[in-house]
Amino acid sequence: MDRMKVTRRSAMLGAAGALALGQMRFVPVFAQDATPEAAPEAAMTYEPSSSKTREEWAAEFNAAFPFEAAPAPGGTVLWGETSDISTTNMILSADQPTSPFLGLIFEGLVGSSPLDGQPVPGIADSWERAADGMTYTFHLNPDAKWHDGQPLTADDVIFSLEAELNPDTGSQYTSSVEAAVASYRKIDDYTVEIVSDGPRANFLFDLVLPVMPKHIWEGVPAAEWAADPGSTGQDPARVVGSGPFKFVEWVQGDHVTVERNADYWDTLTGHVPNVDKVTLQVFPDETTLIQALKTGQIDATTSVPPAEVEGLQATEGIEVAIYPTFDFGFYYMNLDPEKTMLFQDHAVREALLRALDRQAINDNIFLGLGEVAVGTQSLLSTAYAPEKIENDYAFDLDAARALMDEAGWIDTNGDGIREKDGEPFSFEMTYTEGVATFEQLVPYMQQQWKEIGVDMQPNPVPFPTLLDTLLETKDYGMALLGFSWSADPDQKAMFACDQYDGGFNTGKYCNAAYDEIAFAADKELDAAKRLEMLTQASQIVWDDLPIGILRFGEDVAASTVRLKNFKPNDYAGGLWTMPWVWLEG
């Protein structure tokens, strides 16, 4: 829906790989030589398992992606977006375009396959899971090094894990890591042991761990990370990663540039870049962005509005890629009674959704890209099963009006707006300014809700302001945006009770029945049984309607034909092939 969207930091870390998502509480930091206490599950035994080795993954990867060799290195790829990045610190990133762009600079302990989004070697060449089902041993690549030439070791991994666990750091993924990790320790310079809080099917997805350089960040108090020059880009010497590109500069509101890392360590599953630089150029709106692509001012974008797809497909020299995603477009309703009481009644929440013709939204505003949402699992999810979800909340204005009546909201003064206990049903919709689809969608929603006596006032804001409102102040009535999930279908980050602080449950939804089955699904190692449990969890949320999911999205990327080896997908993101791309002519 909104390319400037909140994202589980999945498929964003590293050239061919990435990591995963978020949730929150804070656990005490364990000593590195600590022995984890035995959990009840520890008495059980499981089949020990091993990951693919880097060599095995390289063979699979290279067979799947036979990239065309560049005749000669050089050139600058100009990437267009309508939103700037929000930080140069990967641990603090939680949005697009920040996460995918920083994924060129930073890497994760574990990677994400561009074939299916599943865990593959990242900085770790391989790992094993012990017979207790909880103890993971990660073997780091001894050749991995930071952009400043320092070796990347287990000390960096331990440091990054502790930074991610510390709520003062400001990561939106603290909660998922905290919920997953029971203890950790350094075994030697290139071996790390991490113990999960029990057997977990999704442990590697919940272990959201960009690896940051300890020698750069160890002297910075956690509460000062966000303002540090290494997070604002003001001191390029502090923006140090291990990926195929090195940070050059960030001119806020205009552009951010990275350059090729000629000494990049991973030449099996990664690649020393063909191009000299990649620049993300920020444009004021989508119209200007698309015109820049057509005229050759930029080489590519993943921010193609649906209305521009047909025109770009007919433009000589432009290639268009349409692909399914893990995204859904939705509106948050603030369910915190201390913020507003408007959305507390289920009948109200159902009325708002039923008042919208979501098929017409998908057909007329998004021009058929994607599908009307039924349930909460998006198109690429392994748990996507709309046929198993009860109730599609079909468009029905009369039913919506009846539901508002049932909730006690009546227009007593004839002004067209319903009231209850003297309060009119009126609120602001906060959303990202300058997005073409939103400029059509919000007036439509306003009109439809007025038809049932609800007053919604548009409140367009810059995307960073929207993020701050949702993730920090949480002072809003309703907000419209998109969300990008990872390849693991667990959705606790948005719907579990403990995700209000440090997760993405910004509306403060809480259902004990959901928590029970969703957390139980974490422990179910039988894939088929787990998917069934997650379908049941999806049904609970779908019944409660804490958010209004409008559609499951498809993404559209476009590039000039001179940009070779450009293969965007939602398993690894629009920028994942940057180390392999080259410019013709």
| Per-residue pLDDT reduced to its tens digit, 300-331 | 999 899 999 999 999 999 999 999 999 999 99
Res. 490: pLDDT tops 90: yes
* Beta-strand pair 245-251/191-196: unpaired
The full set of domain ranges for the chain reads 6-271+556-583, 325-554
For residue 193, give the DSSP letter.
Answer: E
**What homologous superfamily is domain 6-271+556-583 in, according to CATH?**
Dipeptide-binding Protein; Domain 1 (3.90.76.10)
Res. 278: pLDDT tops 90: yes
- As a whole number of angstroms, the distance between CA 148 and CA 521 comes to 42
Is 32 in contact with 223 (CB distance < 8 Å)?
A: no
pLDDT at position 434 is 84
The residue among 372, 364, 379 whose CA lies nearest residue 325 is: 379
- Model confidence pLDDT, tens digit, residues 116-170: 999 999 999 999 999 999 999 999 999 999 999 999 999 999 999 999 999 999 9
pLDDT at position 18 is 30
| Residue 46, both tokens | 């499981």
| Residue 187, both tokens | 């075994």
- Model confidence pLDDT, tens digit, residues 367-418: 999 999 999 999 999 999 999 999 999 999 999 999 999 999 999 999 999 9
- State the Cα torsion 523-178-238-226 to the nearest 10°: 130
The residue among 361, 303, 281, 338 whose CA lies nearest residue 549 is: 361
Q: Which amino acid is at 494?
A: M
- DSSP annotation string for 140-177: E-TT-B-TTSPBP-HHHHHHHHHHHH-GGG--TTHHHH
CATH number of 325-554: 3.10.105.10
Inter-helix orientation angle 346-354/397-406, to 10° = 160
| Residue 341, both tokens | 């009481």
pLDDT at position 47 is 87
The residue among 499, 387, 388, 364 whose CA lies nearest residue 6 is: 499
pLDDT at position 43 is 54
pLDDT at position 31 is 28
pLDDT at position 368 is 94
pLDDT at position 30 is 25
- Mean pLDDT value across residues 424-446: 95
Is 45 in contact with 131 (CB distance < 8 Å)?
A: yes
| Residue 283, both tokens | 């444009």
Ranges assigned E (strand) in 240-389 = 245-251, 255-260, 277-282, 300-301, 318-333, 371-372
Kindly report the pTM of this predicted structure.
Answer: 0.80
Confidence of residue 38 (pLDDT cuts 50, 70, 90): very low
User: H/E element holding 563?
Assistant: strand 563-564
pLDDT at position 562 is 96
- Mean pLDDT value across residues 4-14: 44
- Model confidence pLDDT, tens digit, residues 227-271: 999 999 999 999 999 999 999 999 999 999 999 999 999 999 999
Long-range contacts of 497-500 (CB under 8 A, 24+ apart): 498/23, 498/24, 498/25, 498/175, 498/179, 499/22, 499/23, 499/24, 499/175, 500/474
- As a whole number of angstroms, the distance between CA 395 and CA 485 comes to 26
For the chain, give the percent of residues with pLDDT over 70. 93
pLDDT at position 567 is 95
pLDDT at position 373 is 97
pLDDT at position 21 is 23
